[in-house]
């Protein structure tokens, strides 16, 4: 691929640039994106590099984006650590890691061999299989007890007691998206589905209908799996009076001597990152919250990480990122809160439909993360 083709692909794929070159121009460049054969790694390097006309100190080409050691290390961490994340039933962890203490102990595909040799020479690193701490893959006491029906309710009572209350006021608008509604302008179309249709979502069940919404319209559209050819409408809603919601979207304060293996906060975090196999637990939380008098629940969107581009479990920091206040703000920034209101809040007068708009999908754009293939 020539430089012009590379630049076109680079601009298209890396439209959301999340890492740039270091501001300290005194740090010398050590290589460039053209030094690498693996296309994905080359793009990760380019994302952090500088476009200059000077020859690369390693390959001598003027066309690649140049990086210093720190930026190269960041590109490799993104490519190897983040790019090898494997999601498990609850949680997930990278399958590969690297450091300067161990020699390479994995087999790599042919296209990555020269790249590996360059990385070993410039950074002095070795790549090896990563054995995660077991909390990262769901070894958490409250989480495991929630999966046992005889022990579940005791943990769920802790959730009701320890998580904060969020007040949703009449000034707090939120959105509900419908695809192909029968009468788009009818406010009733944006209430909770009929009982006969309940029981397929994260918090609704045959015994409890739920109106789902979000204050993030992008998440609403994604969760409804909207396609370009469908007739799609969005209702802007607001409470008619203050509603009290159990807020499961917040990082839960915990003692600094807590461990990831006993953390209720980590258990709930993993619970809402899990897919439909967790619905039996989350629906039970919903029922118990309604019985306790809550009007609904604020909960982390399953698509939070896709929306924020965040790494789910940053192994270096573990629970400290969720306990230390200044780091907890970073963890909170990863979460997109959704709203679930119990019953039929539109019909019951708890929520008003302020307006309805048709929405059309004009463009879809992806922020892509590259990782290695065939490394084992």
The answer to whether the beta carbons of residues 75 and 41 sit under 8 Å apart is yes
For residue 22, the model assigns a pLDDT of 39
Q: Averaged over 171-197, what is the pLDDT?
A: 94
Spatial distance between the Cα atoms of 23 and 145, rounded to a whole number of angstroms: 48
pLDDT at 112 over 50: yes
Q: Which of 217-226, 244-253, 262-271 has the lowest mean pLDDT?
A: 217-226
pLDDT interval class at 374 (50, 70, 90)? very high
Backbone angles phi, psi at 231, to 5 degrees: -85, 115
pLDDT value at residue 342: 98
Chain length of the chain: 376
Please report which helix (H) or strand (E) contains residue 153, including its range.
Answer: helix 149-162
Tell me whether residue 34 is exposed, middle or buried, using C-beta atoms within 10 angstroms of its C-beta: 0 to 12, 13 to 18, 19 or more: buried
State pTM to two decimals: 0.84
| Euclidean distance between CA atoms 127 and 123, whole angstroms | 11
Who wins on pLDDT, 309 or 245? 245
pLDDT confidence of residue 315: 47
When pLDDT is cut at 50, 70 and 90, the band that residue 48 belongs to is very high
* Residue spans per domain, the chain: 3-132, 137-359
Model confidence band, residue 156 (pLDDT cutoffs 50, 70, 90): very high
Kindly report the average pLDDT of the chain as a whole number. 87
The yes-or-no verdict on residue 265 having pLDDT over 60 is yes
Residue 20 has pLDDT above 60, yes or no: no
153 φ, ψ (degrees, to nearest 5) = -65, -30
Identify the pLDDT of residue 330.
Answer: 61
Distance CA 238, CA 284 (A): 26
Predicted confidence at residue 369, as pLDDT, reads 86
- The band of 328, judged by pLDDT with boundaries at 50, 70 and 90, is low
Buried b (16+ CB within 10 A) or exposed e, 100-110: eeeebebebee
User: Which two tokens mark 115?
Assistant: 């790249």
Report helix angle 264-273 to 279-291, nearest 10: 120
- The pLDDT score that the predictor gives to residue 19 is 40
Two structure tokens written together for 9: 């692909």
- What is the per-residue pLDDT for 136? 87
pLDDT by residue (tens digit) across 83-111?
Answer: 999 989 998 889 999 999 999 999 999 99
């Amino acid at each position: 691929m020539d430089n012009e083709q590379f630049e076109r692909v680079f601009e298209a794929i890396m439209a959301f640039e999340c890492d740039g070159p270091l501001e300290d121009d005194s740090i010398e460049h050590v290589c460039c994106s053209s030094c690498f054969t693996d296309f994905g790694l080359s793009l990760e390097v380019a994302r952090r590099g500088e476009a200059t006309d000077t020859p690369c100190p390693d390959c001598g080409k003027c066309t690649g984006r140049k990086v210093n050691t720190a930026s190269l290390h960041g590109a490799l961490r993104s490519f190897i650590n983040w790019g090898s994340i494997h999601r498990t039933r609850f949680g997930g962890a990278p399958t590969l890691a690297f450091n300067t203490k161990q020699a390479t102990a994995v087999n790599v595909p042919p296209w990555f061999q020269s790249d590996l040799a360059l990385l070993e020479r410039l950074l002095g690193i070795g790549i090896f299989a990563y054995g995660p701490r077991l909390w990262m893959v769901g070894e958490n006491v409250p989480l495991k007890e929630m999966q046992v029906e005889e022990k579940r309710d005791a943990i769920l009572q802790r959730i009701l007691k320890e998580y904060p209350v969020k007040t949703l006021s009449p000034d707090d608008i939120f959105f509900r998206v419908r695809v192909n509604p029968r009468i788009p302008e009818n406010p009733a179309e944006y209430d909770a589905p009929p009982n006969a249709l309940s029981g397929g979502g994260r918090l609704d069940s045959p015994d409890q209908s739920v109106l789902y919404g979000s204050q993030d319209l992008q998440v609403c559209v994604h969760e409804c799996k909207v396609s370009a050819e469908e007739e799609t409408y969005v209702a802007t809603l607001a409470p008619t009076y203050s509603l009290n919601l159990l807020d499961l979207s917040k990082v839960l304060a915990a003692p600094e001597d807590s461990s990831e293996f006993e953390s209720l906060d980590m258990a709930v975090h993993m619970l809402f990152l899990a897919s439909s196999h967790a619905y039996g637990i989350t629906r039970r939380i919903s029922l118990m919250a309604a019985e306790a008098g809550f009007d609904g629940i604020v909960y982390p969107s399953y698509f939070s990480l896709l929306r924020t581009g965040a790494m789910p479990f940053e192994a270096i920091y573990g629970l400290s990122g969720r306990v230390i206040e200044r780091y907890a703000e970073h963890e909170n920034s990863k979460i997109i809160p959704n709203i679930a209101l119990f019953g039929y809040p539109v019909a019951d007068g708890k929520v008003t439909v302020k307006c309805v708009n048709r929405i059309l999908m004009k463009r879809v754009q992806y922020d892509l993360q590259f990782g290695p293939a065939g490394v084992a």
